[in-house]
Amino acid sequence: MSIGLLATKEGMTQLFIQDGVFVPVTVLKVLSNVIVRKKTLNSDGYNALQIAYGSITKKKLNKPELGFFKKAGASLARYLIEFRVDDKKILEYNIGNKVELSIFKKLLSLDVSSISKGKGFQGVMKRYNFKGFRATHGTHESFRGGGSIGQCTKPGKVFKGKKMPGRMGFERVTVKNLRIIKIIEEDNLICLRGAVPGANGGLVELKASNRLPKSIQGISIESKIALKKSMSPQM
């Protein structure tokens, strides 16, 4: 378990890297990540660091929230996210410390979590990739339906979890092992290969991946033995 970072999704673009290889990337902007609380095994039953991220006006917070930030001596923040850490890592940070983008310098890939885009109320073909009915041999008025949803008298009910139309998206999604293509520390930007869930401007959680990075044509990777050694501590 290692500490992570909170970032804001800026959008997608493309980069040309070694030997002119074209790579689609998602650009994330890492704003100020401030530690506002330390949870320990003795006081809370587990070790964790609570990070404040984003700005918010005073009128949008209630009295307990305002008191929390006042006690921590930190500026008001929109998000409070915890990262579980081990016994050694929790000793390295104190309340008020900032977590910088440089902690990802030695890493090759990250796990990314965020809230996916909401798609609204959708049918089973879009929501669950149902095939749908054939368009011939007497089929009518039921081309995109889900078909039968239950049985006869026994059991006489629809089982929980049946795939049916409903709201789609707007849920937490984690994408593992996204390669780090470029880190621009002076602008607090990090470019990850491929797509990151969620809309532009949304909150994104970044954590060190414990998987072996995928090879990409045009990007040199050390030997597997060297990778395993570098990934074992993961910060």
Q: What are the residue boundaries of the structural domains of the chain, listed by start?
A: 1-31+101-131+164-235, 34-98
- Helices marked H in the chain — which ranges? 41-44, 63-72, 87-92, 124-128, 224-231
Question: Which tokens is 51 given?
Answer: 């990070």
- What is the DSSP secondary structure assignment for residue 215, as one 8-state letter? P
Give me the residue label for tokens 């929980």. 160
Per residue in 68-98, pLDDT tens?
Answer: 999 888 889 999 999 998 888 888 888 888 8
Burial of 54 (0-12, 13-18, 19+ CB in 10 A): middle
Residue 198 is predicted with a pLDDT of: 94
Give the Cα separation of 219 and 210 in Å (integer).
Answer: 20
* Architecture in CATH of 1-31+101-131+164-235: Beta Barrel (2.40)
Q: Is the dihedral of CA 91, 92, 93, 94 positive or negative?
A: positive
Per residue in 152-171, pLDDT tens?
Answer: 888 889 999 999 999 999 99
Give the Cα separation of 33 and 96 in Å (integer).
Answer: 10
Element (DSSP H or E) covering residue 87: helix 87-92
pTM of the model: 0.80
Q: Select 34-98's CATH number: 3.30.160.810, 1.10.10.10, 3.40.50.2000, 3.40.718.10.
A: 3.30.160.810
pLDDT less than 70: residues of the chain: 1, 217-235
The residues near 85 (Cβ < 8 Å, ≥ 6 apart) are 1, 2, 3, 47, 48, 49
Question: Do you find a cis peptide bond into 155, omega within 30 degrees of 0?
Answer: yes
